Chains A and B, each alone.
Chain A
Amino acid sequence: MASERNGDGGEKRAENGGGGVEMPEIRYTKLFINGSFVDAVSGKTFETRDPRTGDAIASIAEGDKEDVDLAVRAAREAFDHGKWPRMSGSERGKIMTKYADLLEQHAEELTKLESLDAGKLVVVTRAVDIGASVGTLRYFAGAADKIHGETLKMSRQFQGHTLREPMGVAGLIIPWNFPSIMFFTKVAPALAAGCTMVVKPAEQTPLSALYVAHLAKQAGVPDGVINVVTGFGPTAGAAIASHMDVDMVSFTGSTAVGRLVMEASARSNLKPVSLELGGKSPLIIFDDADVDMAVDLAIGANFFNKGEACVAASRVYLQEGIYDRFEKKLADSLKNWVVGDPFDPRVNQGPQVDKAQYERVLSYIEHGKREGATVLTGGKPCGQKGYYIDPTVFTDVKDDMIIAKEEIFGPVMCLMKFRTVEEVIAKANDTRYGLAAGVVTKDIDVANRMTRSIRAGVVWVNCYFAMDADCPFGGRKMSGYGKDASMHALDKFLAVKSVVTPVYDSPWL
């Protein structure tokens, strides 16, 4: 993870340019509908930009309602009459395993596309993003033949059982911060369940989704099962969420947009909605914590992926006794933190994804200063070109400051002090979010208490970002509902049907 890397001493800040890295050829720029790459009906395109420079990388077909209609029709046909839901789970699993193998074979090209489009560190993208994508596909390949219904214990002379049937056409709307991981987090369980799908990647990062769509075809996923419509939320995204022929929608993104998705479902066909939204996750560090570990975890939890992570631990609560030691060690560690070109392997942090995010993060930093928080490190943009921001740490943050309440989604850490366990439980839970939490302590009683007391979808004890294909992930409160990853992720793509028939003269009931 980025936080474990210390550069080569001193702050080195590459501006941009790729440092002689050969850039990938952009081969897929059109919508992927029914197994073919096609232009948008309107003929319109939009530009996807390099966050290192703000320059255009490629023109991408801009899907709109009409394109979503075509994609849904293809998915509908593939579900209602196609092979995919009608083949056995093991056959689907075999195709998915092949898909994972292909993804692994094309890891280099995909890594570069992803890093270029999202400003992600190429080293991390290769090891984490693509590795996790392959792993997720393999996990759900192995899950496809393990979707079990139950036989029931009826209290009368009936034989009852449940079937878990594929929901049908899934609408999958994914964000720009982990484009490949999010693609497979949604697509892999949907495939395993036997659903067909329309995927809308974020307009900031359309390249990897189109690229992996062509690999799906090579792996033998039938046409129409995976359709990818690139475009914008208010047009393409809204069309999916409100489509009468889409049977469920799964969305990862901001809480504000999550609300719109749910509303669109309510106003159309009441399709079930699964939402993985924002967070303001606490990282709680107790006096007895190993300070080196705590600092490493805090850096990773806030600055990994330039702070563009829904689980970012943007509220760091420090017990009084460790506060000063932690602050000093943190400031020291960040001296070696390198912001720069994500293609440079010495770099710890790349640019924010686009101008809008960049400006948003800087405005939060200004808010923090205005509200009276102290800037320990950073607090300003980095370099003259592109969307780089210095890793920023605020101290003396109060719970009611905007930077302590709202999701910043950038490299901004807020340090806060607490005295007792009770106090920090109350503070940690005093948020409308409930996505994740970290606890750093050696005390088993404190750890056990915290794990049950914090209202969040995941609690990491003496670790952070410990995501895994088999570990359920998803929030509470306004961080959303429904789980991604793990066998729980299948639930949202399956409809439970009970089947009951009389049983005569049974020797047991």
Chain B
Amino acid sequence: MAAAATRRAASSLVSRCLLGRPAASPAVPSAFRRADGTRGLVPGVLQRFGTAAVAEEPISPPVKVGETKLLINGKFVDAVSGKTFPTLDPRTGEVIAHVAEGDAKDIDLAVAAARKAFDEGPWPRMTAYERSRILLRFADLIEKHNDDLAALETWDNGKTFEQAAHIELPMIARLMRYYAGWSDKIHGLVVPADSPHHVQVLYEPIGVAGQIIPWNFPLLMFAWKVGPALASGNTVVLKTAEQTPLSALYMAKLLHEAGLPEGVVNVVSGFGPTAGAALASHMDVDKVAFTGSTDTGKIIMELSARSNLKPVTLELGGKSPFIIMDDADIDHAVELAHFALFFNQGQCCCAGSRTFVHERVYDEFVEKSKARALKRVVGDPFRKGVEQGPQIDDEQFNKILRYIKSGVDSGATLVTGGDKLGDKGYYIQPTIFSDVQDGMKIAQEEIFGPVQSIFKFNDLNEVIKRANASRYGLAAGVFTNNLGTANTLTRALRAGTVWVNCFDIFDAAIPFGGYKMSGIGREKGIDSLKNYLQTKAVVTPIKNAAWL
């Protein structure tokens, strides 16, 4: 459903941009030579919108900043140190607000509040039905505050307002209703014993959950983490990404308005090495869940190992293959491969960043992908019709530009894009490389930006082998009309999600997570509850049992 909405939204964005706007002259020179031999931006819509992005004043966000302090035990408080950090507008690099900077001391306070709320508070002790009603009210409030939340998200993150308001926020309300429905359906098994014993399995809340979320989908990740933790009766200390601290504070306020008792959800803004590390290594945190880079995931796991062995779930990086067979509907495949990579400025852990195309359709595919990328509307994410906003910050921006340079240096063909856009903010041209070889850096590392790499293959077994030759295993896309090929690829690809003739379908009920170094555990779906439940077997003799 959400994905259908995504597709609809994507195609309506496309059609809007095709309505034809007057062209403007090239303004931004390119550092790199393109396949077509031109320099600078190719004339057309992209260019015009790129110009617009730089030339026009940023649209004033239709929302006020709101809370900027830490949420601990139901109250917004300053950091113990009194320190703050600026959160920046990715459109300009200018400061939106100064946010309280939590570190180890604040984490201690937040954990103490969560601990008390779990050990003594009403939350795990109320009925599951009562918990579900609070989550249902929360969902209603999210709907009511949809546009404010979306505007805050766009402002802090740079994603398009249309995506935030029409795709992500409805998904988030939907997730909360989904988890509300689970709260009173958490069933253990009564299991048979060999001996005359009666055995019940209880799924108990695990306790205080530490949750560390990334900046690419701040609210959606909030929902993926907090939803299952709350449905199963836990309390939470959540650390937001330092790039995007604002929307989670707004959400947490709504949670309390919905009736959440104080201390059940605590939100600490701050940085990974300080606040994040304190959470992951805290002796009183019973479980930690992290979404972010593979490198940081390793640190989280290590910190758990060095402290109290808290169970860790990790949702990390990816280099997901998107495989287009020669019998696929090419136009559809081009559109979805484009969407799979460029969606959310390419800042998706499951981005289809290795586009494998069968040699028989390769040239056509590259040509059409280029045409599609050139039509991509880049600009102020608050502007209607814009498909791509700025990257999150200068660090990511520069990293992506370095990868683009590496692609050119290693001999890949730059089909389109290849440079930043404008002089202000973190805009990057939609970029495509063709003739990418498996050994290149851009073929192996996660770029996390609007850079599509297109590979050529000629045989099913070959593409399976190449697709799996990655330390990642988050997702995969398969495009074919042949059922046998689809079935073979479905089983052969070592990835947590295989989308067949679709991509980025993210329903609440569909489990999501990675194989290999893309992570541990699954989010969403029934599997996500297990991350927040402790299993207890209860065994008692049964004398003179009527049956065993």
List the interface of chain A (C-beta within 8 A of B).
88, 90-91, 93-94, 97, 135, 138-139, 141-146, 148, 159, 421, 425, 444-445, 448-449, 452-453, 469-470, 487, 501-508
Q: What separation, in Å, do the CA atoms of A143 and B509 have in the docked complex?
A: 12
Contact partners of A502 in chain B: CB under 8 A: 484, 487
Contact partners of A425 in chain B: CB under 8 A: 546
- Which B residues, 140 to 180, have Cβ-Cβ distances below 8 Å to chain A? 174, 177-178, 180
Are the CB atoms of B491 and A94 closer together than 8 Å?
Answer: no
Q: State which of A449, A470, A508 has its C-beta within 8 Å of the C-beta of B184.
A: A470
Are the CB atoms of A449 and B544 closer together than 8 Å?
Answer: yes
23 cross-chain CB contacts under 8 A: A88-B1, A97-B177, A139-B185, A141-B181, A142-B178, A142-B180, A142-B183, A145-B178, A146-B526, A159-B490, A445-B541, A445-B542, A448-B198, A448-B540, A448-B542, A449-B546, A452-B547, A469-B184, A487-B185, A503-B484, A504-B484, A506-B491, A506-B492
Also in contact, A452 and B542, with CB within 8 A (given A93-B177, A97-B177, A508-B491)? yes
0/1 interface trace, chain B 479-506, chain A, CB 8 Å (1 if under): 0000110011011100000000000000
Q: What separation, in Å, do the CA atoms of A146 and B543 have in the docked complex?
A: 38
Also in contact, A469 and B487, with CB within 8 A (given A142-B182, A448-B198, A449-B544)? no
Contact partners of A453 in chain B: CB under 8 A: 544, 546
Q: Is B216 an interface residue (CB 8 A)?
A: no
Are the CB atoms of B181 and A145 closer together than 8 Å?
Answer: yes
Q: Is B136 an interface residue (CB 8 A)?
A: yes
Contact partners of A470 in chain B: CB under 8 A: 128, 184-185
Expressed in whole angstroms, the minimum distance between the Cβ of A424 and any Cβ of chain B is 13
0/1 interface trace, chain B 94-125, chain A, CB 8 Å (1 if under): 00000000000000000000000000000000
> Taking chain B's interface residues, is the majority helix, strand, or loop, or is none over half, making it mixed?
helix
**Known pairs A142-B132, A501-B487. 15 more at Cβ < 8 A?**
A90-B174, A90-B177, A93-B177, A141-B181, A142-B181, A145-B181, A146-B185, A146-B509, A146-B526, A448-B540, A448-B542, A449-B545, A449-B546, A469-B184, A487-B185
Expressed in whole angstroms, the minimum distance between the Cβ of A472 and any Cβ of chain B is 11
Q: State which of B174, B182, B491 has its C-beta within 8 Å of the C-beta of A507.
A: B491
Q: Is B203 an interface residue (CB 8 A)?
A: no
- Which B residues, 177 to 221, have Cβ-Cβ distances below 8 Å to chain A? 177-178, 180-185, 187, 198
Q: Is B312 an interface residue (CB 8 A)?
A: no
Q: Is B129 an interface residue (CB 8 A)?
A: yes
Q: What separation, in Å, do the CA atoms of A58 and B153 have in the docked complex?
A: 57
- Number of chain B interface residues as a range: 35 or more
Q: Is B436 an interface residue (CB 8 A)?
A: no
Expressed in whole angstroms, the minimum distance between the Cβ of B291 and any Cβ of chain A is 23
Expressed in whole angstroms, the minimum distance between the Cβ of B200 and any Cβ of chain A is 11
Q: Which residue of B lies closest to A87 (CB)?
A: B1
Contact partners of B484 in chain A: CB under 8 A: 502-504
Are the CB atoms of A145 and B546 closer together than 8 Å?
Answer: no
Q: Is B373 an interface residue (CB 8 A)?
A: no
Q: Is B508 an interface residue (CB 8 A)?
A: yes
Are the CB atoms of B492 and A505 closer together than 8 Å?
Answer: yes
Also in contact, A452 and B545, with CB within 8 A (given A138-B129, A145-B178, A146-B185)? yes
Contact partners of A97 in chain B: CB under 8 A: 136, 177
Are the CB atoms of A90 and B1 closer together than 8 Å?
Answer: yes
List the interface of chain B (C-beta within 8 A of A).
1, 128-129, 132-133, 136, 174, 177-178, 180-185, 187, 198, 461, 483-484, 487-488, 490-492, 508-509, 526, 540-547
Also in contact, A90 and B129, with CB within 8 A (given A502-B487, A506-B492)? no
Contact partners of B509 in chain A: CB under 8 A: 145-146
Also in contact, A449 and B488, with CB within 8 A (given A135-B129, A142-B181, A143-B185)? no
Are the CB atoms of A143 and B181 closer together than 8 Å?
Answer: yes
Q: State which of B174, B180, B487 has its C-beta within 8 Å of the C-beta of A504.
A: B487
Expressed in whole angstroms, the minimum distance between the Cβ of A469 and any Cβ of chain B is 7
Q: State which of A91, A141, A148, A445 has its C-beta within 8 Å of the C-beta of B543.
A: A445
Q: What separation, in Å, do the CA atoms of A143 and B508 have in the docked complex?
A: 13
Are the CB atoms of B1 and A93 closer together than 8 Å?
Answer: no
Are the CB atoms of A444 and B136 closer together than 8 Å?
Answer: no
Q: Which residue of A lies closest to B135 (CB)?
A: A142
The 6 nearest A-B residue pairs measured at CB? A142-B181, A453-B546, A503-B487, A448-B542, A506-B491, A452-B546
Expressed in whole angstroms, the minimum distance between the Cβ of B189 and any Cβ of chain A is 13
Q: What separation, in Å, do the CA atoms of A425 and B543 have in the docked complex?
A: 14
Q: Which residue of B lies closest to A90 (CB)?
A: B174
Contact partners of A159 in chain B: CB under 8 A: 487, 490-491
- Which of A91, A142, A444, A503 has its CB near the most chain B CB atoms (within 10 A)? A142
Q: State which of B177, B488, B541 has its C-beta within 8 Å of the C-beta of A505.
A: B488
Q: Which residue of B lies closest to A88 (CB)?
A: B1
Q: What separation, in Å, do the CA atoms of A444 and B177 have in the docked complex?
A: 39
Q: State which of B133, B483, B541, B544 has its C-beta within 8 Å of the C-beta of A501.
A: B483
Contact partners of B184 in chain A: CB under 8 A: 139, 142, 469-470
Expressed in whole angstroms, the minimum distance between the Cβ of B364 and any Cβ of chain A is 27
Expressed in whole angstroms, the minimum distance between the Cβ of A490 and any Cβ of chain B is 11
Expressed in whole angstroms, the minimum distance between the Cβ of A431 and any Cβ of chain B is 16
Contact partners of A142 in chain B: CB under 8 A: 132, 177-178, 180-185
Q: What separation, in Å, do the CA atoms of A194 and B178 have in the docked complex?
A: 17
Q: What separation, in Å, do the CA atoms of A370 and B133 have in the docked complex?
A: 54
Are the CB atoms of A91 and B1 closer together than 8 Å?
Answer: yes
Contact partners of B129 in chain A: CB under 8 A: 135, 138-139, 469
Q: Which residue of B lies closest to A158 (CB)?
A: B487
Contact partners of A144 in chain B: CB under 8 A: 181
Contact partners of A504 in chain B: CB under 8 A: 484, 487-488
